[in-house]
Structure 1
Amino acid sequence: MSDLRTELKVSIIEQLNLEELSVEDIEDNEPLFGDGVGLDSIDALELIVLLEKDYGIKLTDPQQGKDIFISINKMAEFIEANRTK
């Protein structure tokens, strides 16, 4: 699953235009929001789109994002359990 984590980091950097970050800058357990990577609510919407586009996962409850987008590890676990692509 570590390849999925790297893939997620690359996708997040590209999707959110985080050119100042590299894959190595994002720790697997680091918080994606707040003091971690520093994402905000607009970025959360982009992550929802990324899940649907890249992995075929449609979030029906936006509150799910709070549990899923905690870290790269949490996202990877959710994708592995729910992906359709």
Structure 2
Amino acid sequence: MIDWKTEKENIEKRIVIEEKIKTILVESLMLDLDKKLIQNDQPLFGRGLELDSIDALELSIGISTEFGIALSDDDMSIFSSINKLTDYIIENQLIEEQQ
């Protein structure tokens, strides 16, 4: 049976994390872009936001500072979109909560 209260809390938590990531992107990388225009599944590199490796480092530092989660360049796929970053953050927060 689905616990709708828990599902609603998870959705709300995800939205908050997505917004924080977008804020980190815009502020730490000094993007001349309204964060509302960043789509959650939009690629961050290449034809998406056209970020580069230095931007990835800045983003990694911002996320580590905000969420207390270390990001590694071993798995660059987590930097592919806001959705992937959010999934990674949520997954790692759950692991930390269980320890």
TM-score bucket of the superposed structures, by smaller chain: 0.7 to 0.9
Report the RMSD for the aligned CA atoms in angstroms: 1.3
Greater relative contact order (Cα < 8 A, sep 6+):
1
Secondary structure at the aligned position of 1:11 is classed as helix
Q: Matches of residues 1-85 of structure 1 in structure 2 within 5 Å?
A: 1-18=14-31, 20-59=32-71, 61-64=72-75, 66-83=76-93
Bigger CA radius of gyration: 2
Structure having the larger proportion of residues in helix? 2
Count the aligned residue pairs.
81
CA distance in structure 2 between the aligned counterparts of 1:80 and 1:17, rounded to whole angstroms: 25
Aligned-pair identity in percent equals 38
Secondary structure (helix, strand or coil) at the match of 1:21 reads: coil
Q: Which runs of 5+ in 2 are unaligned?
A: 1-13
- d(CA) in 2 for partners of 1:55 and 1:63? 19
Q: Cα deviations across residues 18-45 of structure 1 (Å, max 9, x unaligned)?
A: 1x21112110000000100111010011
> What code does the residue aligned with 2:50 have?
G
**In structure 1, C-alpha distance between the alignment counterparts of 2:38 and 2:63, rounded to whole Å:** 18
Compute the TM-score of the two structures, normalised by the length of structure 2.
Answer: 0.75
Partner secondary structure for residue 38 of structure 1: coil
SS of the residue corresponding to residue 3 of structure 1 reads helix
**AA partner of residue 63 (structure 1):** D
